[in-house]
A and B are shown apart, each in its own frame.
Chain A
Amino acid sequence: MDKVIALVGKEWSEVFRNKFVLFTVIFIPLLMTAIPLVMLRAITAGDGGDAFGLTEAVGQVAVLCEGLAAGECGQFIVISQFMPLFLMMPTIIPITIASYSIVGEKTTRTLEPLLATPITTAELLAGKGLAAAIPAVAATWIGFGIFVAGGLAMGLSRDLAARFFDPLWLTAIFVVGPLLALAGVSIAVMISSRTSDPRVAEQISGLFVLPIVGLIVAQTTGLIYLNRSLILWIALVMVVLDLALLYFATRLFQREHILTRWK
């Protein structure tokens, strides 16, 4: 464990010297937290929140809004549109960190001396993975905390505020978020093994964000609504996907493969 902790510390010391990585880790969570807060501010400052007529929009809304007043329901639906933003954070950030961390080791030729030490492949992957995933998950959770605190400060009702602590949001933020971060790291490891430019690795790995963008579009257009069962399904799919991605990433991250095939 000492080696994993040492590796995580080293990774952070190295990678956070990169201004672009630092920008991604700080700016993206701020932006993605600010957007729903601004929307919330806009609708709470309006006519009570039902200006969008959302309570009449789709049958599913009634299920989501159970126990909420009409105005509160409108606010909740609008805010829920932005829940996927909190799923984008743990996806984008680890991809950026892992891409710079792994490709950086390749370009500066620091991997060979590291692989010559008695660190196991599992420890190496764990160190690299945690160094990329922890800031992402932490930024997401902090962003979510700021969002909830901001909402309360804007005078959300107790019933509506309580919705952010129901299984739907908690599963999304505290289960699906870390699972997405893990997937992001695995994808970055795989892509990084084939490129020698961190920006290319990041851009290709970044395609992994597209399904979440699709989720935002689908929800905004009323095609789907994120509800408890859907988020549980997403969590389940992510567990399976993570296992598969970890398997492939681990296979690629073998000493000999890295030294002789990574160009």
Chain B
Amino acid sequence: MIVTEALTKDFDATRAVENLSITVHAGEVFGLLGPNGAGKTTTIRMLAALIGPTSGTAVVAGCRVGKDDQQIRRSVGILTETPGMYEGLSAARNLVFYARMYEVADVEGQVEKYLRMLGLWERRYELVGTFSKGMRQKLAIARALLHEPKVLFLDEPTSGLDPQMARTVREFIQELRGEGRTIVLTTHNLDVADRLCDRIGVIRSRLLILDSPAALRQRLFGRTVVFHLGGPAEDHRAAVAGFDFIQSLDVVDNKLVLQLPDPEAQNPVVIRSLVEAGADIQFVGEVRRSLEDIYLQIMEMKA
């Protein structure tokens, strides 16, 4: 659905995006992560045909950026970094205006559909200037969907929202994913990216790494299993130290912390050995590395 080849954008002497080559498949939720100024918004603006690339190519929904820009704008929806709604107009009036801009055939129908879907129907005649940030964000999402785009760009969809509103927005994005739309989102909220994205690309002007969150966990940290014992774990280190499949072994008080490539197959072996050595195993758990750990690890590695 989206293919970029060596996509590059310069602003005078500053290279904002460098040689970005990514492919986003139809129906995929793709997260674009990176520090401030990494080029995330610039990338989205290029893919939404708002600005042109300095070099390289990008094809969005079968249309080439820089050549079929009008068609791209018809095919994509964008949630910009700030909602940017007209505060002196009502919610309904804002959406009616944008529906006409997007050449929507059934203006009233689409406006009603998305106002209801996002829980704003009852407040449709109220001025947007009186809305909370979360409501404006929901209205901006509705605006991005009015013309039923195949591709959706969401720039910081949960930025500045309280946890409850962030959850509502996140759940709505999950619904959209269920409809088979291709979604590219940028966010600093790594929990949101972890829950929503099939794959993530970390950029800092250029692409640093690209994979699914699970694969990145595996690649960067392996899988970590903690065995909680009834006594000092140091006494039982020798019982497991000989297994060559163990990638790393740490002892912390009563806990044995092992990094294992395939815990489903290797946990029973470890447990048997510990029991034979007289250890009381209270419980076993896997440590799930957060996407934040992964992100920070990538940033540290690439620094």
Q: Which of A110, A114, A256 sits near B52, CB closer than 8 Å?
A: A256
Q: Is B98 an interface residue (CB 8 A)?
A: yes
- Residue pair A14, B88 in contact (C-beta under 8 Å): yes
- A-contact bits for B264-288, CB 8 A (1 contact / 0 none): 0000000000000000000000000
- Residue pair A108, B87 in contact (C-beta under 8 Å): yes
- Residue pair A2, B102 in contact (C-beta under 8 Å): no
Number of interface residues of B (CB under 8 A): 28
Smallest Cβ-Cβ distance to A123: which chain B residue = B101
Q: Is A194 an interface residue (CB 8 A)?
A: no
- B-contact bits for A96-125, CB 8 A (1 contact / 0 none): 000000000000111111111111100000
What are the residues of chain B within 8 A of A6 when measuring CB–CB? 97, 100-101
Contact residues of A between 109 and 143, Cβ < 8 Å to B: 109-120
Knowing A13-B88, A110-B86, the reply to whether A256 touches B101 (Cβ < 8 A) is: no
Q: How far is B76's CA from A117's CA once the two chains are assembled, in angstroms? A: 9
Where chain A touches its partner, the secondary structure class is helix
- Residue pair B100, A2 in contact (C-beta under 8 Å): yes
- Residue pair B85, A110 in contact (C-beta under 8 Å): yes
- Residue pair B88, A118 in contact (C-beta under 8 Å): no
- Residue pair B89, A13 in contact (C-beta under 8 Å): yes
Query: Which residue, B48, B89, B101, has most C-beta atoms of chain A within 10 A?
Result: B101
Contact residues of B between 63 and 104, Cβ < 8 Å to A: 70, 73-74, 76, 78, 80, 82, 84-89, 93, 97-98, 100-103
What are the residues of chain B within 8 A of A114 when measuring CB–CB? 84, 101
- Residue pair B86, A14 in contact (C-beta under 8 Å): yes
Smallest Cβ-Cβ distance to B99: which chain A residue = A6
What are the residues of chain A within 8 A of B48 when measuring CB–CB? 116
What are the residues of chain B within 8 A of A14 when measuring CB–CB? 86, 88-89
What are the residues of chain A within 8 A of B103 when measuring CB–CB? 2-3, 118
Q: How far is B45's CA from A240's CA once the two chains are assembled, in angstroms? A: 37
Smallest Cβ-Cβ distance to A112: which chain B residue = B80
Knowing A14-B89, A108-B84, the reply to whether A113 touches B143 (Cβ < 8 A) is: yes
Q: How far is B74's CA from A78's CA once the two chains are assembled, in angstroms? A: 58
Q: Which of B52, B76, B140 sits near A113, CB closer than 8 Å?
A: B140
- Residue pair B88, A17 in contact (C-beta under 8 Å): yes
- Residue pair A13, B93 in contact (C-beta under 8 Å): yes
Q: How far is B44's CA from A112's CA once the two chains are assembled, in angstroms? A: 12
- Residue pair A118, B50 in contact (C-beta under 8 Å): no
What are the residues of chain A within 8 A of B89 when measuring CB–CB? 10, 13-14
Shortest C-beta distance, B68 to chain A (Å), equals 11
Q: How far is B48's CA from A14's CA once the two chains are assembled, in angstroms? A: 27
- Residue pair A117, B102 in contact (C-beta under 8 Å): yes
Contact residues of A between 1 and 44, Cβ < 8 Å to B: 2-3, 6-7, 9-10, 13-14, 17
Residue numbers of A with Cβ under 8 A of B are 2-3, 6-7, 9-10, 13-14, 17, 108-120, 255-256, 259-260
